[in-house]
Structure 1
């Protein structure tokens, strides 16, 4: 149902049939922004899936009881975010949702699953190797010591969203590839009795190399978010060092700031 003030209207004949809107004409928030936010929420929570057609602007304005400029502005807002695309002769189509991940010590797999994003994992590397100086410093071990090196490609709705490189002390726990492709790394650690306590994390951004662009289905030079994280257990021992890259077009960190008093 679409609610505009005290009026309800069904939205038949499109992927919007299952979506409920609450548009308040008396609110100081512009109608186009209300519509854009509610469409984005429907995409994020899977009510509107990649490939769904929303129809053209004229159809949408009639169905939603809004002016065409209002609908156009709302759609453009989501086109600019990469969530929708306009296709000539077809109309407006959902491309994918952007992952908004809370800035906390959690597994990307678990966060995606909880958000209904349909995560899947392809393990590209799972082997024992010698720790480089960088990895050794992060884990607090000797350079050259044995570590387990993991490289995984994480997808949502079949589309790549992140490339994850992780290093763990080789004797920490068993990491069978089949389990890594069916669950999150932190869930496996918790199941092994490892109690995660805290982490140090650095977030940055850079452009995609040719190899990274191919891996993530992006263009070379596209914006990527980066994250380096060292996680510690409840004894203060470093148990994991991660170097991750995310598609900026499909991924964002979401956190709350508090004012000191």
Structure 2
């Protein structure tokens, strides 16, 4: 956002609170990003001007901004200034397409297909899809982006006779949408979630430092006949992505 547009953010800093002022500033900036008051691509403005406006020291403002840079919500660009990148993607834990979730959250998803080929199924893939080991499966590897920034690296395996996985279609929409368009009714899935550090190759593709924290997800999806229609192994930037859980208490 421009310096004049900063007036759109209604800051309310409590100097009597035990919560540090830099943290209050960071929380209110993050809330403004989440609400869409500060939109992706907007410039945050000059630290000196923001400090003067809020009656804060420049180091306090810098510390608040830096905490959001570290969370991946802001980025410092030489010659441009501090820029809003995005809000963090919060995905519900249910059988849904990442593409659909991102689109519903106004995250402007785009896709780059890195690999789309037929290959023999490994033991793991064959077991997930209930196929004989070595059977042909279609492997698709995609980079999913929001506002031009990578969020996830997706690797999916589907039976070769299931549907036509055209690269152009995969870059224009989500895999589950293509399945639904082909008359496949997704019914359920088995899914596991974990975390690990990024390899050098993963870090380069996801624009993270090597060794950065990644969320992992492995899923086998089934149609309404009980047939396994997809096995996926996905990794997500922990700085930009979370899973939301709803937990129910059983008496």
**Normalised by the size of structure 1, how large is the TM-score?**
0.81
Among 215, 224, 244, the alignment partner of 1:234 is: 224
Q: Which residue of 2 is the match for residue 4 of structure 1?
A: none
Q: Cα deviations across residues 4-59 of structure 1 (Å, max 9, x unaligned)? A: xxxxxxx9844435x4548596xx99695665444324434554344422224453
| 1:193 alignment partner, SS class | coil
Change (3 A) 1:171 1:41: farther
Change (3 A) 1:29 1:99: farther
Which residue of 102, 117, 121 corresponds with 1:112? 102
> Cα RMSD over matched residues?
3.1
Q: Unmatched 5+ residue regions in structure 2?
A: none
Cα gap change, 1:71/1:256 in structure 2, threshold over 3 Å: closer, same or farther?
farther
Q: Does 1:180 align with 2:176?
A: no
- Separation of aligned partners in 2, 1:178 and 1:45: 33
Q: Deviation per CA, 1:63-107, whole angstroms, max 9, x where unpaired?
A: 4x5655886665354234221246799764324432221111111
**2-side partners of 1:29 and 1:185: how far apart?**
48
Contact 1:229–1:242 at 8 Å: present in 2 too?
Answer: yes
Question: 1-side partners of 2:61 and 2:152: how far apart?
Answer: 32
Contact persistence 2:144–2:150 (CA under 8 A): yes
- Relative distance call for 1:166 and 1:12 in structure 2 (3 A) is closer
What is the rounded CA distance, in whole Å, between the counterparts of 2:5 and 2:233 in structure 1? 38
Matches within 5 A, 1:204-243: 204-243=194-233
Counterpart Cα distance in 2 of 1:260 and 1:230: 27
Residues 122 and 143 of structure 1: is their aligned pair in 2 closer, same or farther, counting only changes over 3 Å? Answer: same
5+ unaligned residues in a row in structure 1: which ranges?
A: 1-10
1:253 aligns with 2:243: yes
Query: Which one of the candidate residues 32, 35, 60 is aligned to 2:50?
Result: 60
When structure 1 is superposed on structure 2, of 184-193 and 86-95 the one drifting more is 86-95
C-alpha distance after superposition, 1:191-221 (max 9, x if no partner) = 1111111111111111111111221122221
The TM-score with structure 2 as length reference comes to: 0.84
Partners of 1:37 and 1:189 lie apart in 2 by: 40
Distance, in Å, in 2 between the alignment partners of 1:144 and 1:230 is 18
Deviations 1:203-242 (A, max 9, x none): 1111111111221122221211111001111222111000
Q: Distance in 1 between matches of 2:173 and 2:135?
A: 27
